[in-house]
Amino acid sequence: MRTSLAAALAAGLTIAAPITSAAAAVATPHDDTSGPIGGPLLGSDGVVVQTLPGGPSLPTDLSMGSWLVADADTGEVLAAKAPHERFLPASTLKTLTAVTLIPRLSPAQTQKASDTDVAVDGSKVGLVSGFPYTVKTLFTALLVVSGNDAADALAEAAGGIPTTVRLMNAEAKHLQALDTVARTPSGLDAPGESSSAYDLALIAREGLSMPAFRHYIGVVHATVPAPHRQHFEIYTHNRLLTTYRGDIGVKNGYTIAAGGTYVGAATRGGHTIIVTLMHANPDFWPQAKELLDWGFAAEGKVVPVGTLVAPVDPAARPVVEKVQARPVVASDRRTPPASGGVASWEIALLAVSASTAVMVTLRRLRRRPRLSLPPL
């Protein structure tokens, strides 16, 4: 949006405070005493929009707890409802997991799934305990089918779940996503965990600056390896990625407590719009589509109500030593790791069980529709 403040005033609009452009977004820590981050209008718990004459009206069915529409190119927030109100993020928190770990892990590095990874609650891609997966495969499972098992395996590859959660919270502060508190790498409901429509847009915008992130969120179909040289297919849970013109993906989520959550982006004519929703009905896809439509129609026809701020200091991202890739040996591909005095018949039984589980999963994937309700 490139409408000037002078043009807005000439149109007779009332501006509560000067709007900061994306180019002027400060790269210094936010002072809690200076008002809501991103601009004073974003402190509202209601709808904030400043439409110029002839501008598009907002969709009427926007009953979710909060939402935000932003210009990804300039960082301008075009409209929002309660953008800083905190809600459970569900699987949209995986965007923070990805933004945090993509710079730290080599795509070719391998990580064996653990019993704990495999037993995690919620949506899973179907990792097999003891089987090695590349980080690239795990990121694909994380962002294509919202695998909580993949999230935990990635966390283990980065030094463990507690370490990864600390890194995620440090990354959120670096991005000035101050409403966000991570407690898990997967976004499963946890005491104290939170994010906001504003923060999800900040995190998504950072992710869109990473070529690897853009690749993973745009994957519609992929294969995941399994024991005995098998593999199974996965398909995106993001319904707009395959149905909305120009959609480039990002992430959706759902738990009973969080409701539907979504952060998405689309590009048309070289112009990208970001939309975020929180505490929505599980079937929020029509509302997400309408807000994307509105965002494209609003170009040059609204006065921004705020801005997506820049990171504190691009050179000050929390740093840990990148974990080095480990060669995969032949034994890694065939048997689970030894545990105490496990008998050979027990190992054989585990292998048969794993193979059976993979084949059952494959048959189920072939029978069910490719796109399902949002995952946990």
CB atoms under 10 Å from CB of 126, counted, come to 22
Residue 38's closest CA among 276, 240, 359?
A: 276
Whole-angstrom Cα distance, residue 319 to residue 322? 9
Whole-angstrom Cα distance, residue 130 to residue 145? 21
Ramachandran region of residue 32, left (φ > 0), alpha (ψ -120 to 50) or beta? Answer: alpha
194 is an active site residue: no
Catalytic one of 66, 123, 146, 195 = 146
For 363, phi then psi, to 5°, come to -65, -40
Determine how β-strand 76-81 pairs with β-strand 306-307: antiparallel
Catalytic one of 81, 94, 112, 289 = 94
The DSSP element (H or E) to which 282 belongs, if any, is none
Whole-angstrom Cα distance, residue 265 to residue 203? 12
251 is an active site residue: no
Tokens of 246: 């120009």
Is the C-alpha dihedral spanning 82, 87, 91, 92 positive or negative?
A: positive
209 is an active site residue: no
Whole-angstrom Cα distance, residue 164 to residue 162? 5
Catalytic one of 44, 66, 81, 91 = 91
Return the active site residues: 91, 94, 146
